[in-house]
Every structure is written in C-alpha cells, then in structure tokens.
Amino acid sequence: MSEENTSTYENIEEENSIGHVQIAGEVIAIIAGLAATEVDGVSRLAGSLSNELASRLGKKNPAKGVKVELLPGEVKVDLAIDVLYEYSIPTVTTQVQDKVKQAIETMTGLNVTKVNIRVAGVRMADAN
C-alpha cells in the first residue's frame, strides 16, 4: 500500500429513472479520511512527504494517505494512520475499518469489500 494518495479517482456512474448520478472517486477518499479521523485513538491520517509539506503550508487534504480502488460493484480502500500513544492498535484499526465501511456504504450505497489499514506511526496526544 502506497503512502501517497494515488487513487486514479475514477468515477462511479449510475443511471436511474430520474437521471444520471456520478460520484467522484475523490469524494469516496474524502469520506474515508473523515470517517477514520472520527475514531478515538486516531491522531491523523499519515501521508507522504509531499502531503506533509503541503499540510505544513496550510493546505488541508482530508484524503491524504487514502487510496481508493473502484471496481465494478465494489470499492476497496487503503489508508494510513497515526495512532495516539497508549491506545490499542488492534482496537483502533478495527474501529477505523468499521467506521470507514459504514460511512462509504451509507453515503454512497456502494459495497465496500476491503478496508486495509497501515499504521504509519504513533504520536503523543499533544503532538497533533
């Protein structure tokens, strides 16, 4: 799993009786990133060096460290996180997987088949 947000950001397209609906792949990555950071014990999403530099320059990217793979009828998500010190990594990662899957499925109606987590670091609570 790459640290870089390398999604090709293909779009999901559906046709219904009223018209055409298109969901950008980047939207799915943003949903995943926001859901992950809502879990207690997640310090932040971990991105690549270029993402870290952009973040320090004030550019926010809620999808940094998130890769989305869109396949026919399914979505796979890879994301990298930093966990807060003293939190159980297995507990935090399981909660992140559940939260990300639920958020994407609820908001988009798409079937999430995989949520892979890479713990990239451990941080002290005041190091956010």
Give per-10-residue mean pLDDT for the chain (128 aa). Answer: 46 73 88 96 77 51 83 90 96 98 96 97 79
Query: What total of structural domains would you count in the chain?
Result: 1
Question: What was the pLDDT predicted at 11?
Answer: 64
Whether 45 maps to a domain, the answer reads yes
Angle between the N-to-C axes of helices 25-37 and 89-108, in degrees from 0 to 180, rounded to the nearest 10: 140
Question: What was the pLDDT predicted at 122?
Answer: 95
What domain range includes position 77? 11-127
CATH number for the domain spanning 28: value is 3.30.70.1350
pTM above 0.85, yes or no: no
Nearest to 64 by CA among 3, 125, 128, 1: 3
Contact 79, 32 (CB under 8 A): yes
Whether 96 maps to a domain, the answer reads yes
Question: What was the pLDDT predicted at 48?
Answer: 52
- In angstroms, rounded to a whole number, what is the distance separating the alpha carbons of residues 122 and 84? 6
